[in-house]
Every structure is written in C-alpha cells, then in structure tokens.
Copies of this chain bind each other. A is one copy, B any other.
C-alpha cells in the first residue's frame, strides 16, 4: 500500500465501515494489480469507492449525442452550484459514464468528515445543488426540461418536507412536528408512509411552505447559473469530451471560481424514470 493512503478519510467520507470498507480495499488492490501498479494508491481506492457505490462503468450503453449533452449540462449544473454555494460538501468528480446501477451520470461530493447535525442553511444549499441540474437544463434548453431531473426533484421535495414538518424550520408552520411515521408499524415492510394527524388547513400551509422554500432556492440557483455562465459553458463541453472530470480539472475550469473547498453529495442521473412505452 502506498504510504499516503488515508483509510480513515475514506471511511469518514463514505460512512462505510467493516465489511464494506474491506470490500473497497480488495477492489482497490485488484485495480492496482490490473493497472500494473506496485502499490495500492489513493486513485485506486477512489475508483474502488465509485465502483462499490455506483456499480461498474457501462460504456457499452450507447446514449444518443443529444442525451449525452443533456446529462453533461445537468451534471455541470450540479457542479457549478456545488462550487458556488457556501455549505456544499467538496466536489470530487463529475462523470457522464453510465453505471450499472442505472446512473446516466453522476456528481460525486465527499464530505471532509462525518456530519451529525445540519443547519437550515446547509439543508438549503443541499437542495440548491439538487436543483442545479434541472435549472441548468432550463437555461440551456430554453425551458424544455427532461425526465432526467425526477430523482433530484424527489430528493429535494423530501428534504424540504423534513425542514417544514420535522425540523421546525418554517415560521408559518411553527416548531411542531406534523405526521407520524408508520414505519415498522405494519406487518413487515419498511413502511415509510406517514399518518396524517393534522387538519386539511395545516396540510395547505405545509404545501405552501414546501413550495415557497423550493421556489426561493430555485430562484437563487437560477441567479447563480445566470450570473456565471462561463463555468457552465466550459465544464459541459469538456465533460462531453473527457466524460469524467476530477476535482482539480473542475476547479481550473471554474476560473474565477472561489477556489475554496466546497461540500456535497452524490447526484446520479438514472434512466429508470422514462415512462415505459407499451
């Protein structure tokens, strides 16, 4: 193993322990052997993390040029927002190589350490990064969005709903929690449905707040992307050309970027969202 290997950082970033971590190290060893390296190096570990979290690369899947461009615009949108907002996890890699678990592309953010608490501002920035892909599509394609954002919208909706109904982060709704999780209360399955133990009027207030918060963040994301069109214009074609951009490349592309370390998550474009044709 190369001496600069930092297993603890890998563990902290991925939240993986024990057998999962061992799995990653084995994978990294294999990759090192395959590339003829003498040592397991950091790049091997990082590729191994990607493989375990995302599945194998599926270069055989041929996307149309149009689709590739969509995915590139989308991922570039996530990346630029992740590099622009204050509380995003550091951006690690952006890729448009499909993965076997159903990803059309992904934006990989790895936290610098484990997180136990999140502030309202941090949650809002997380939602902002999620909305970055769709907003980039809107701007680039004159409002003609695609099905590719469904996963991001679902996760943004889940986050904003928790802000409003779990974390007391909406003043009109107030510091109470609404809805009681019924998980585990039925016979077997991980049941994520909530009991609606509140009035229709409260349901309206919750809907309004969900919408208001998402709209405000969407507006902010739109402003970020409109004020700094150059990074988008540079990252997106480069991504189509190289298919994967690492952290250093991204930072150099965002010339005039803040350069400061940023934060984030893994954003995956899936293809399972396309309505089945009969």
A185's partner among B190, B277, B278 (CB-CB below 8 A) is B190
Known pairs A116-B63, A167-B149, A278-B268; A144 contacts B156 (CB<8 A): no
Chain A 182-215 interface residues, beta-carbon cutoff 8 Å to B: 182, 184-204, 206-207, 210-211, 214-215
Task: Give the Cβ gap from A178 to chain B, nearest Cβ, in Å.
Answer: 8
Question: Hey, which chain B residues are within 8 Å of A115, CB to CB?
Answer: 64, 67, 274
Kindly identify which residue among B156, B268, B271, B274 contacts A175, using a CB–CB cutoff of 8 Å.
Answer: B156
Flag whether A113 is at the interface (Cβ < 8 A): yes
Chain A, residues 89-127, CB within 8 Å of chain B (1/0): the string is: 100000000100000100000010111111111010010
Give the contact stretch, choosing among A157-165, A230-238, A239-247, A249-257.
Answer: A157-165
Q: How large is the interface on A (under 10, 10 to 19, 20 to 34, 35 or more residues)?
A: 35 or more
- Chain B residues with Cβ below 8 Å from A169 are 145
Q: What is the total number of copies of this protein in its complex?
A: 6
Looking at the assembled complex, report how far the CB atom of A238 sits from the nearest CB atom of chain B, in whole angstroms. Answer: 20
Known: A176-B160, A271-B117, A275-B162. A200 touches B203 (CB 8 A): yes
* Chain B residues in 8 Å Cβ range of A269: 117
Interface assignment of A32: CB less than 8 Å from any CB of chain B = no
State whether B147 touches A118 (Cβ < 8 A).
yes
A38: interface (CB < 8 Å): no
Specify which chain B residues have a CB less than 8 angstroms from the CB of A55 in the assembled complex.
none
Let me know if A119 and B144 touch, CB within 8 A.
Answer: yes
- Nearest residue, chain B, Cβ from A277: B265
Using a CB–CB cutoff of 8 Å, the interface residues on chain A facing chain B are 61-64, 67, 70-71, 89, 98, 104, 111, 113-121, 123, 126, 131, 134, 141, 144-150, 153-162, 166-169, 174-178, 180, 182, 184-204, 206-207, 210-211, 214-215, 218, 265-269, 271, 273-275, 277-278
Closest 7 CB pairs of A and B: A199-B203, A116-B271, A266-B278, A265-B277, A199-B204, A157-B176, A119-B146
